[in-house]
Amino acid sequence: MAVVPAVAEETFLSDVHLYTPFFQTSKNNVDFTSYLSYFKNNVCHEYMKLANATTGNMSETSGFHFLFCFFFFTRLQLIGFDQVWRGALLLSDFLVYNEERFNKCIALELGAGLGLCSIVLGRVAKKVFCTDLRENILRCCQNNITANSHLFKYGYDVVAVRKFDWLASGLPTGEGDFCWTKEDQEVLKNATVVLAADVIYDDSLTDAFIGTFLRLMEANKPITLLLTIERRLNFTLEELAVTSPAYNYFLSRIKELETKEQRLSTRKLDIDFPNYLQYERVKELELWEIKPA
């Protein structure tokens, strides 16, 4: 039997965090102090210390402070799953800027990762279902949400972490962790906002994601998808040029659903609202609003 030598597993760092150990800004009378910490061997470093620090004096500030934990380094097969992506930072800025619009809304976040946008929206929403696929990610997400539940205006349990797989035929129900109760499913029917950050990177997942939104649209008529995308650029042999194939595929699908099938109305929104969180608003970042036609 051949012996396979043990190879030290390589880890990768998300460039979002390279120069921003803390997101800390104050703009337009909104003070943001988010304490970033990181998971190592599944233990969140300095978690409790920072969580305690964030619970004091919240109501005395004009803005808010939140604690957000993420994986600083990630293994190759988990890239895309356990870190925070620039799309989530852009969408969070948009949610803060439009806080009044979202007051008391019922929302669903798809592919939430570690839950940043759900936390930001949870401050003013009546209910947010923060969803993703894998249980280990959902657990970290739950930790982030619990650590920030004092920020939620309409109750500490406003944000519920649930499993939602775009490729599955239904929602997981039953007794297990992150399953949907009957009551959740009833509340979900009244959701008017769907959030998704940085979920466009693989064509078959894009199909599954769009299919999920179309199904939600059938159940909830007045529903709006707010989707952020960071166009990933690649040199392709097919086109002999630097292009963004995953983005182009997404565009072709939504344009088809808009013009040919007349099911969707789509709009790319201006992203000139303030940069509350610290990150580089690169030119590849976009925000889309997608509604039923």
- Kindly list the residues in this chain that would bind ligand SAM in the complex (CB under 6 A): 80-81, 84-85, 87-88, 111-113, 132-134, 137, 164-167, 197-199, 205, 208
Minimum distance from CB of 289 to ligand SAM (Å)?
Answer: 17
Minimum distance from CB of 202 to ligand SAM (Å)?
Answer: 8
**Measured between alpha carbons, how far is 232 from 285 in angstroms, rounded to an integer?**
10
Nearest to ligand SAM of 35, 70 (CB atom): 70
Minimum distance from CB of 81 to ligand SAM (Å)?
Answer: 5
Nearest to ligand SAM of 120, 217 (CB atom): 120
Minimum distance from CB of 116 to ligand SAM (Å)?
Answer: 6
Among 93, 293, 70, 81, CA closest to 199: 81
Nearest to ligand SAM of 85, 276 (CB atom): 85
Minimum distance from CB of 3 to ligand SAM (Å)?
Answer: 34
Angle subtended by helix axes 47-55 and 135-147, to nearest 10? 40
The 3-state DSSP class for residue 251 equals helix
**Cβ distance 74 to 38 under 8 Å?**
no
Instruction: State the burial class of residue 102 (Cβ atoms within 10 Å of its Cβ: 0-12, 13-18, 19+).
Output: buried
Nearest to ligand SAM of 51, 227 (CB atom): 227
Nearest to ligand SAM of 203, 258 (CB atom): 203
Among 105, 100, 79, CA closest to 198: 79
Minimum distance from CB of 144 to ligand SAM (Å)?
Answer: 11
Please, what's the b/e burial string for 196-221 (b: 16 or more CB within 10 A of its CB; e: otherwise)? Answer: bbbbbbeeeebeebbebbeebbeebe
**Measured between alpha carbons, how far is 12 from 76 in angstroms, rounded to an integer?**
7
Nearest to ligand SAM of 28, 234 (CB atom): 234
